[in-house]
Amino acid sequence: MKYNKKLLGVVSAFAIALPMSLGSAFANGTVDFLKTSSTGDKVAGAEITFYQAGKKAFTFKTNAEGKVDAASVASANSYDVTNIVDSSGNLSLKAGEYTYAETKAPTGYMLNSRHEALTVTDGLTSNVEIKNTKFKDGLGQVIVRSLDKATSAALGGATVDLKQGDKLLASINFDDKGNVMDASYITADGRNLGLEVIDGSILIKPGDYILVENKASEGYALNTQAYKLTAKSGVTTTIEILQEKSSSATSTSEKQTGVKLRIINTSKSAISDQEVSIYAVDKDKKNPRLVFKGKTGADGYLDATKATEGIALLKDGVVSLQPGNYYYQLTGGTNHNDFTVEQDKVTPIEKTIKLNSNSKTGGVTSTTSKSASLAKTGMVGGLAPLVGGGLAIVAGGLAITRRKK
């Protein structure tokens, strides 16, 4: 009987300890933060801003280790920053949805203009690393933002032409966070001016340029204003392209320009989950640039929910593209399938492939998934040993009871 009482005491203690440990393990979410250069060096002096529900929540600066400088944390809009930084220079945040961006670059570096989203979950660790690229000699940085004129919310789906005089240098596409996409189209004239997309912004030689929107975001009227800008060596210039929502009375339907691709088998049946990459090439069909990557749906057409690159370009199975030369490639295959896009026309393509005997698709597809790791104070470090140890204690207690009967 006395052994049963001891066992009851052990189990009771475990029952009390478990919820207490659960509470401590899932108190806040940890954001393992790191600020580096494009070559992997730790970078100090960057200013980072976090937002919640569209409002600025807090800012901080990075220290010599590229971590959060606790002394620099400043609250905005009454956000509670008490104990927000741990001893390792990481953030401890309440569960919720955040966005973050670099708002001031370290000396000698270009501003990383990307706005990114972050979901913080109690007891889990998220990794955030923001990289900076040093200015290239003689070049300037241009940041272009696509915004709602009334709310200043970032918009995706628009396309803006960057010109110098009558020369088209680049057609800039924006993702759903309003960032300039790496897959934006750059002409030979643009490349001659050193133009490239880095960290969501444009690097280019000093000079006078013009930005003109040629495709508005869905539900918005085309902005016909020509925005003049001057790029300066070693200087960051920001231009905001403002869009106004179109009314049903004044809006006109735009003709789509792009490609609509469908993958079928030799029996004319649709093939789903076939991964497709689309590349833009120059007039000589050289210098490929990835503009879209995604998979087909049950109907064989590219599915917007399965896109991983150029998501904002796909609607109703049509990938919106600028007029020019392109090719598509199926994952698992080596063929470059050339096609041309003409203004105000959708190029229809139906690709027939032979199925492998052990595959539902015509080639080997690959998927990449990201998942948050468990917090250092969560399941890995605290809860798992507690549960395992508690179960071992209970098992041992039962064994003792059986031996004493």
pLDDT digits (tens, 9 = 90+) for 281-332: 887 888 888 889 999 999 999 998 999 888 888 988 899 988 889 999 998 7
> If pLDDT is split at 50, 70 and 90, which confidence band does 357 have?
low
| Cα separation, 275 vs 332, whole angstroms | 9
Q: Which residues are 119's β-sheet partners?
A: 97
pLDDT value, residue 3: 52
The amino acid sitting at 160 is V
pLDDT of residue 356: 65
| pLDDT computed for residue 389 by the predictor | 47
pLDDT at 179: 87
Segment 132-160 shows an average pLDDT of 92
372, with CB counted inside 10 A (0-12, 13-18, 19+), is: middle
Q: Is the confidence at residue 1, as pLDDT, over 80? A: no
Residue 63 has pLDDT above 70, yes or no: yes
Mean pLDDT across the chain: 82
% of the chain at pLDDT higher than 90: 54
Flag the least confident range among 47-56, 229-238, 246-255, 389-398. Answer: 389-398
More confident residue, 282 or 52: 52
Closest C-alpha to 215, from 175, 278, 257, 271: 257
The pLDDT assigned to 366 comes to 34
Region 249-257: mean pLDDT is: 56
Share of the chain above pLDDT 70, in %: 79
* Start-to-end Cα distance in the chain: 9
- Say how far apart CA 13 and CA 5 lie, in whole Å: 12
DSSP-assigned beta bridge partners for residue 207: 231
Q: Band of the pLDDT at 131, cuts 50, 70, 90?
A: very high
Q: What is the DSSP letter of 383?
A: I
pTM: 0.56
pLDDT band of 373, cuts 50, 70, 90: very low
Split at pLDDT 50, 70, 90, the class of 73 is very high
